């Protein structure tokens, strides 16, 4: 009974004590903002770093407060006063993007115009930055406006704002985890880590997106980006192979499937010295995705492996010829023709064929800057290796006739005279 009375007494005391606390003792964001504003108005440089921390925390902690736009605007001013023009620019734009009804919107825009007019770093982006100021900062919700702001930072792609942009994207992720395009925001986070040179953080961030959004259409891109990081930056090429194989298997219609096939060939060729495996992957790429921009390079790699690693010269010549047949307009056609000429001359000792392929460069690629030299080379092979002066003169004469203004034309004319002299002996 005594115990019950004691508990009852404690409850009564607690209720009376709580009731005695005045209502204005509860935390008020307006009081905190007033403090921050008055602190800023002192313009004490030694307090700027303190203000940066406090104002950033205020903006992040109280995104729905009536003073958040003013706090963001003051934060931009503090950055500018500290000489951090890039952060100031980002903060001013954030104020305009997130709070389009902000009372000092025009003043904010005028300050930005002054910054981009003076800052050399934004010389090439001046028109784009100014155009945004002249447009409307729209978005039905705060999340939409924040997303548009992040997209602006990503497209701006200013390296000195990577840390800022990364912090903003991470803030968005935790503030709006269910946003419609949150997978895009997660991709941006991973991309930013990669741009900053933080390969491990980027790789696991790409992986994180796969865990949280297994049906995202961004997965082929994020998988490929992760595979490239594992291979090129982190030295984990075997792990990279697993990722590229996953892309080819799961997303065969994706543009990253063809790119992954090329990377499989490259890894096997350059890292594993598995030349047969490399040829298989390169060949699959050429046959499956002939229009892919690197398919021609896959053919070149096949030819080079046959020529330099396997000493299979007929197979190499066939692959080089395939480049000319399938990708004649590509600049690699010139290289392929010259390499065939070199194989015939240096490896197979078929000098007639060698000369024909050197000369074919001028025939198929007449505008190629070294075409006259290739004709001279063809003539020299005929003259020195075959003692066929008549054929040599024909090649030299082509230089004179087709490239009369070229500096090699006079060289060709001299060679014609010498070859004729040899014929008369």
135 φ/ψ angles, rounded to the nearest 5 degrees: -90, -170
Looking at residue 217, its pLDDT comes to 97
Looking at residue 423, its pLDDT comes to 83
Over residues 399-412, the pLDDT tens digits come to 999 999 899 999 99
pLDDT over 60 (residue 22): no
Q: How confident is the model at residue 16 (pLDDT cuts 50, 70, 90)?
A: very low
Q: Which of 32-41, 130-139, 199-208, 369-378 is least confident?
A: 130-139
Looking at residue 21, its pLDDT comes to 40
pLDDT over 90 (residue 373): yes
Over residues 171-202, the pLDDT tens digits come to 999 999 999 999 999 999 999 999 999 999 99
Looking at residue 20, its pLDDT comes to 44
Summarize the confidence of residues 83-103 as an average pLDDT: 94
Number of CB atoms found within 10 A of residue 224's CB: 23
Nearest of 229, 180, 179 to residue 204 by alpha carbon: 229
Looking at residue 425, its pLDDT comes to 67
pTM for the full predicted model: 0.85
CA 49 – CA 51 distance, rounded (Å): 5
Looking at residue 118, its pLDDT comes to 87
Looking at residue 8, its pLDDT comes to 53
Query: 3-class DSSP state for residue 100?
Result: coil
pLDDT over 70 (residue 18): no
How distant, in Å, are the alpha carbons of 35, 41, 42, 68, 202 from that of 29?
A: 10, 18, 20, 9, 37
Number of CB atoms found within 10 A of residue 29's CB: 16
Looking at residue 421, its pLDDT comes to 87
pLDDT over 90 (residue 386): yes
Looking at residue 27, its pLDDT comes to 63
pLDDT over 70 (residue 1): no
Please tell me which of 12-21, 216-225, 401-410, 414-423 the model is most confident about, judged by mean pLDDT.
Answer: 216-225
Over residues 257-276, the pLDDT tens digits come to 999 999 999 999 999 999 99
Average pLDDT, the chain: 92
CATH, range 36-158: 1.25.40
Say if CB 185 and CB 147 are below 8 A apart: yes
Over residues 161-170, the pLDDT tens digits come to 999 999 999 9
Over residues 214-240, the pLDDT tens digits come to 999 999 999 999 999 999 999 999 999
Residue count (the chain): 425
Over residues 286-331, the pLDDT tens digits come to 999 999 999 999 999 999 999 999 999 999 999 999 999 999 899 9
Q: Map out the domains of the chain as residue ranges.
A: 36-158
Summarize the confidence of residues 128-151 as an average pLDDT: 90
Looking at residue 415, its pLDDT comes to 93
pLDDT over 90 (residue 58): yes
Token digits of residue 274: 């598995």
- Long-range contacts of residues 351-357, Cβ cutoff 8 Å, at least 24 apart: 351/381, 351/382, 351/385, 351/386, 352/382, 352/386, 354/378, 354/381, 355/379, 355/381, 355/382, 355/386, 355/391, 355/395
């Amino acid at each position: 009974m005594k115990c019950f009375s004691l508990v009852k007494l404690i409850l009564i005391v607690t209720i009376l004590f709580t009731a005695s606390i005045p209502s204005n003792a509860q935390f008020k964001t307006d009081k905190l903002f007033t403090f921050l504003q008055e602190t800023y108005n002192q313009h004490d440089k030694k307090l700027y770093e303190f203000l940066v921390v406090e104002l950033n925390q205020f903006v992040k902690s109280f995104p729905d407060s009536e003073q958040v736009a003013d706090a963001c605007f003051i934060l931009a001013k503090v950055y500018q006063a500290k000489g951090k023009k890039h952060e100031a620019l980002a903060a001013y734009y954030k104020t305009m993007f997130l709070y389009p009804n902000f009372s000092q919107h025009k003043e904010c825009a005028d300050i930005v115009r002054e910054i981009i007019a003076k800052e050399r770093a934004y010389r090439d982006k001046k028109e784009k930055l100014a155009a945004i100021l002249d447009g409307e900062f729209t978005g039905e919700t705060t999340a939409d406006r924040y997303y548009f702001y992040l997209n602006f930072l990503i497209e701006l792609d200013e390296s000195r704002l990577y840390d800022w942009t990364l912090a903003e994207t991470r803030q968005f992720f935790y503030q709006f985890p269910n946003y419609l395009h949150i997978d895009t925001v997660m991709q941006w986070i991973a991309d930013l880590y990669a741009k900053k040179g933080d390969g491990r953080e980027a790789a696991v961030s790409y992986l994180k997106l796969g865990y949280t959004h297994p049906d995202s259409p961004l997965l082929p891109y994020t998988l490929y980006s992760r595979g490239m990081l594992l291979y090129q930056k982190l030295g984990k090429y075997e792990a990279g192979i697993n990722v590229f194989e996953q892309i080819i298997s799961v997303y065969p219609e994706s543009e990253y499937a063809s790119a992954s096939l090329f990377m499989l060939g490259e890894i096997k060729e350059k890292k594993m010295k598995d030349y047969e495996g490399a040829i298989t992957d390169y060949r699959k790429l050429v046959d499956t995705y002939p229009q892919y921009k690197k398919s021609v390079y896959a053919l070149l790699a096949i030819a080079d492996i046959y020529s330099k690693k396997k000493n299979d010269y007929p197979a190499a010549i066939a692959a080089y010829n395939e480049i000319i047949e399938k990708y004649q307009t590509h600049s690699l056609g010139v290289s392929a023709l010259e390499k065939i000429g070199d194989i015939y001359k240096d490896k197979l000792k078929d000098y007639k064929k060698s000369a024909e392929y050197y000369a074919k460069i001028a025939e198929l690629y007449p505008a190629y800057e070294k075409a006259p030299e290739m004709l001279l080379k063809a003539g020299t092979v005929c003259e020195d290796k075959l003692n066929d002066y008549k054929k040599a003169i024909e090649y030299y004469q082509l230089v004179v006739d087709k490239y009369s203004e070229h500096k090699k034309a006079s060289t060709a004319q001299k060679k014609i005279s010498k070859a004729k002299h040899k014929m008369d002996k």
